[in-house]
Amino acid sequence: MNSFFQNVFNFRKNVNIKKINDIIENYLRAILLSKGKKNCSSMAQEVDLKHDKLYKFLENASVTYPLLQKILFAIVLLVSRMFKGDLLIDDTSAPKPYAKKIENLGYERNGSLKLVVKSLTYVVAVWSNGVISIPFACLPWVRKKECKGVYKKKSELAIEIITKIVQEKIKFNFLLMDGAYSGNNTLSFLESIDIKYILRIPKSRTIQANGIIGQLQNHPNLKLNKNKRYKTIAAISYGTLRYFTVHKRKKAKTSKSNEKYETVYYVSNVELNPEEYIERYSMRWGEEMLFRTDKQYLGLGQCQALSAEKQLAHLYASFLSYTLLSFEKNFRQAKCVENIIHGIRSNRNPLEFNGFEHFIKQTQDLVLKFANQSCE
């Protein structure tokens, strides 16, 4: 059996299984069924449970957080062997404007508010094939000014996550990340371990092509003709041959600019047609939708606990809730995860949730079956 799966099962043997399963099941049910804020007080009122019963999940965060993390890794490992998908990494933040004592609290620019606000920020990894999306790994990030320990850039945290994912032998086709992660150190790291990537890249990055050195936005080889929307060239960047794509695309409707189009750039270590880079990179939209749903319906960032460990326990509970809903959406052929959530909360379409122990047992059986087949 794969040693990673063995660790998952051994971990569960070392805790009071019945007790911890009941604690996790209560918390997941509360997240999935409650319509209001996802803190223990509000959820307890809605799902008719005592506050203390729900708080036990956070109180036992030293067990619940790593257990949920291991379960999500096990699910992704299994699914990634059955289906082709991509690895998406991006950061998300939960505004906490009135918080003062929460661990890892810092300041981050909020995209919707267009302001720098007090927040909890995480670098998150998602495995997705366009139909099923599984958020399964994350690390907290704190701005250098507020960091009380060793400061790490978001790109450094992404490298830590990728290293763990590679070590656990999770399969994916391409790694897709935003321009904030496209520094040369990150690109060189990905190339050193043979990971195929497509990243957005700042227009000010300097390249050399056909003997001409210049920024992407000014390089003559990346200039588009009047009716052309995209173009790819091979160029040297920091002594390495890479592929750069320029894409003239329509601006989002939310943009305040009067311009109808914007020009963006991508970098990759794999030679493809320009359309293929653009289509593949658009898979990142699934991660944005995931973050939106998790924040609006599953309470990502709404936990009021002060310790970082309890915050992570709540975060991983919301991740596992989203994973369950993502599979349910696929099973029921629903248009989106939100439809499943509305159905569950209105009792029109109840989720078959036969207890967390039953869910874990099903996962174990699938994992063991696959592991045994792999060993034959």
DSSP letter for each residue of 321-342: HHHHHHHHHHHHT-S-HHHHHH
Select from 269, 292, 318 the last residue of a domain: 269
Residue 359 token pair = 């869910």
pTM of the model: 0.88
d(CA 24, CA 356): 7
Domain shared by 46 and 165, yes or no: yes
Select from 269, 286, 316 the last residue of a domain: 269
User: In the beta sheet, which residues pair with residue 197?
Assistant: 175
Of 254, 240, 125, nearest to 181 by C-alpha is: 125
Q: Which of 92-106, 213-227, 242-256 has the lowest mean pLDDT?
A: 242-256
Q: Which of 226-230, 232-236, 361-365 has the lowest mean pLDDT?
A: 361-365
Domain shared by 175 and 249, yes or no: no
Domain shared by 141 and 207, yes or no: no
Domain shared by 227 and 365, yes or no: no
Domain shared by 236 and 114, yes or no: no
d(CA 37, CA 308): 19
Q: Are 87 and 125 in contact (CB under 8 A)?
A: yes
Domain shared by 97 and 205, yes or no: no
Domain count, the chain: 2
Q: Are strands 261-268 and 206-209 parallel, antiparallel or unpaired?
A: unpaired
Domain shared by 64 and 117, yes or no: yes
In 14-148, which residue ranges form alpha helices assigned H by DSSP? 17-33, 40-47, 51-59, 61-82
Task: With a cut of 60, say whether residue 7 has pLDDT above it.
Answer: no
Select from 235, 269, 303 the last residue of a domain: 269
Domain shared by 251 and 276, yes or no: no
Q: Are 119 and 139 in contact (CB under 8 A)?
A: no
Q: pLDDT tens digit string along 271-320?
A: 999 999 999 999 998 888 999 999 999 998 899 999 999 999 999 999 99
Domain shared by 260 and 277, yes or no: no
Residue range of the domain that includes 142? 3-196+270-375
Domain shared by 226 and 90, yes or no: no
Domain shared by 205 and 284, yes or no: no
Q: pLDDT tens digit string along 170-190?
A: 999 999 999 999 999 999 999
